[in-house]
Amino acid sequence: MLEQLRIVPANEASADDLDAVFGAEGAGARCRCQRYRLARGESFGGMPLEERIGRQLEQTAAGDPYAPTTSGLVAYLDGEPVGWAAVAPRSEHHGLVRVFTVPWLGRDEDPADGSVWAITCLFVRAGHRKRGISRELAAAAVRFAIERGARAVEAYPIATTAVIAEELHVGTVPTFAAAGLSEVSRPTRRRVVMRREAG
């Protein structure tokens, strides 16, 4: 089914491909993976959509295959852009490090440790879901991080099946378990911290 699935670093995708993945409506179109990257004093609601899109294009270096770094992966099925994974050093997710409690509750972790990478979003376009693309993206994101020096990779998926669609961008426990991540903690009833060491 997924023989024609190809996953590439986001700088090898075009801005139009990212637009196609996220669409013009819905949670993905509104967020563009900026919620966990807000700097001190910024609010998600106070940031215009154009600014979120611009920041994502800068973070991914979309369209520049020679860029030294990129944040994220894009999945293509039969040449069509269909999925996205946000993966970057955990320290680049300023909102996650500063205020988001899920990764830190009950853990002795240095939030600024850049050697730990985080997979904060798995997003698949409507019409292509429930085909295993998220699992392939999660596995590719782990490889991508480790190949770039990550000593560990984390994710913060939903722990329950009773979720609304807008929550699924963080992925599910089975998806990350299939990519080799194991449960570290359950800081809330709905969220799990999962991790895989590089060694």
Mean pLDDT, the chain, integer = 88
118, 136, 195 from 93: Cα distances, Å: 8, 23, 17
Is residue 15 helix, strand or coil?
A: helix
- Give the Cα separation of 69 and 142 in Å (integer): 16
The Cα 24–Cα 192 span in angstroms is 30
**pLDDT for residue 166 is more than 60:** no
CA angle 47, 24, 156 (to 5 degrees): 65
Q: Which tens digit of pLDDT belongs to each residue from 40-68?
A: 888 888 889 999 999 999 999 999 999 98
- Rounded to whole angstroms, the Cα distance separating 188 from 104 reads 11
For 159, other C-beta atoms within 10 Å of its C-beta total: 18
pLDDT at 26: 82
Matching CATH number, 5-197, of 3.40.630.30, 1.10.10.10, 3.90.420.10, 3.90.25.10:
3.40.630.30
More reliable by pLDDT, 78 or 99? 78
The pLDDT value given to residue 83: 96
Mean pLDDT of 144-165: 84
* The pLDDT of residue 1: 55
How many whole angstroms from its chain centre is CA 65? 20
Phi, psi angles (nearest 5°) of residue 76: -120, 135
Q: How confident is the model at residue 95 (pLDDT cuts 50, 70, 90)?
A: confident
- 195: β partners: 154, 182
* pTM for this prediction: 0.92
Residue 143 pLDDT > 90: yes
